Amino acid sequence: MVGCSGWNRGERQRALPVCDPDIIPLPSTPQADVREEDGAHESTSGRISSDWKRHRAGELELGDWGLNGEEDGGSSSGPVDKGADFANYFCTYGFLYHQKEMLSDRVRMDAYYNAVFKNKHHFQGKTVLDVGTGSGILAIWSAQAGARKVYAVEATKMSEHARTLVRANNLQDIVEVIEGSMEEIDLPEKVDVIISEWMGYFLLRESMFDSVICARDRWLKPTGVMYPSHARMWVAPIRSGLVDQKKNDYEGAMDDWYGFLEDTKDYYGVDMSVLTKPFSEEQQKYYLQTSLWNNLHPNQVIGTAAVIKEIDCLTVSVNDILQVKSNFSSVINMVPTRFCGFAGWFDVHFRGRGEDPAQQEIELTTAPSPNNGTHWGQQVFFFHPPLHVDEETNLNVSFLMTRSKENHRLMESEDSNELLILLSISTPCKCLQARAWLILEMDVCNVGMQQICAGLMAGIPF
């Protein structure tokens, strides 16, 4: 089954992802601009087109691109079904419009450009492997920075455009574009540098880092350098007007349902009201409690941000990223405000390696920013209803995010001490999803309760 349009309702809900249409929550949905009470502006607009955001959110179906599941982009690997993997993940990377969206992300581009050209010593006379070269941009920069040889591996037909671009820039003697899956191709030699832009939403979505790890273990020399070299995941409490919009949307869906019940009874003689509860639960699970993509303004972050995962790209294993587990504290640092949920984002660093460091370290961050948003934005998890909190309220948070197995069920949990909130985001990418628990314990004299616990279960896109 390729997607499922059953969830489409205007622009609010999206097709269920391909791999697990029955149980996987909806992808994050770019929302309309909403203004907070204090004027904070949550924008999902900007440089990045909605098609791109929808792609990275995994929302587009094959039909949207005029492809069918039989087409083979030369793309798959391992145990993942090749057709599904191409349909879910690789197909859109084969389009120029789509590569252009990444190439138009100035924060991303400036970071990689500076990382390469301010650290030419890592490239001059060296061999480089670009994992997932796309248009070939990172391979071309590597060659321009002085690399002796660059292997540019790309799973999709974008490899043909990359080859054309390499030739047009007269770098064909240095850059060799190889069409194929990183896991399946062979190189004639080991390399000094692996460069790749593998980061998905909330860092680990897309599971592309698995391919980079595989490449590193097979092809990086013992003295080799990773670009980027380090990555971190962050979480922080937020306020947001979108929480009200989501609630209104949910109530609108229920009003619509009641109208539908009346019509069905009046016109067709069948009383469907017995389905009201499952319909409502479906709406809650797959819309109300589904996390979403957003570009937050920094003043919507209402407490200290915490690092929940640190990755050394040189040493990390796939096992290390199957789960993200963290206990952290956050202190509300804003005058009485609404605590609507959490936002997650990431940064990566280009530091070289211990004995061969960068001359100039570069950071690429996707944190909320007034004017330097990225196409990654932030992933937002809401509570319903939001809580009112005072300055200096302590939040003690346990975070557990696990890459899901195919067809796993969303977890349910009952605990009398906990208010369980199920939030979910989803991905069709590589048939891998994840779920996350976020247990929130608050020091809540300010809100007049002893303890509030919230659980979060999310299909985090890996």
Ligand X SMILES: C[S@@+](CC[C@H](N)C(=O)[O-])C[C@H]1O[C@@H](n2cnc3c(N)ncnc32)[C@H](O)[C@@H]1O
**Which CB, 154 or 249, lies closer to ligand X?**
154
**Which CB, 181 or 393, lies closer to ligand X?**
181
CA dihedral 360, 365, 371, 375 (to 10 degrees): 120
Q: Which helix (H) or strand (E) holds 227?
A: strand 220-227
- The C-alpha atoms of residue 380 and residue 403 are separated, in whole angstroms, by 18
**Which CB, 41 or 218, lies closer to ligand X?**
218
DSSP string, 420-461: E---B----GGG--EEEEEEEEE--GGGT-S---EE------
Residue 63, number of CB atoms within 10 A of its CB:
12
Minimum distance of ligand X from residue 158's CB (angstroms): 5
Minimum distance of ligand X from residue 87's CB (angstroms): 13
Question: Helix, strand, coil shares of the chain as percentages rounded to 5?
Answer: 30, 30, 40
**Which CB, 177 or 340, lies closer to ligand X?**
177
Minimum distance of ligand X from residue 194's CB (angstroms): 12
DSSP string, 274-300: GGHHHHHHHHIIIIITB-EEEB--GGG
The active-site residue, picked from 11, 197, 355, 412, is 197
Report which residue's Cβ sits closest to ligand X.
132
Phi/psi of residue 57, nearest 5 degrees? -80, -5
Minimum distance of ligand X from residue 298's CB (angstroms): 26
Q: Under a CB-based contact definition with an 8 Å cutoff, are residues 107 and 199 in contact?
A: no
Q: State yes or no: is 355 an active-site residue.
A: no
**Which CB, 152 or 236, lies closer to ligand X?**
152
Q: State yes or no: is 414 an active-site residue.
A: no
Q: Which residues bind ligand X (CB under 6 A)?
A: 77, 90, 93, 102-103, 132-135, 137-138, 153-156, 158, 181-183, 197, 208, 211
The two structure tokens encoding residue 137: 């941009």
From residue 202, give the alpha-carbon distance in Å to each of 192, 207, 380. 28, 11, 10
Q: Under a CB-based contact definition with an 8 Å cutoff, are residues 339 and 302 in contact?
A: yes
**Which CB, 111 or 305, lies closer to ligand X?**
111
Minimum distance of ligand X from residue 164's CB (angstroms): 15
Q: Which helix (H) or strand (E) holds 225?
A: strand 220-227
Minimum distance of ligand X from residue 56's CB (angstroms): 9
Give catalytic residues, as residue numbers. Answer: 197, 206
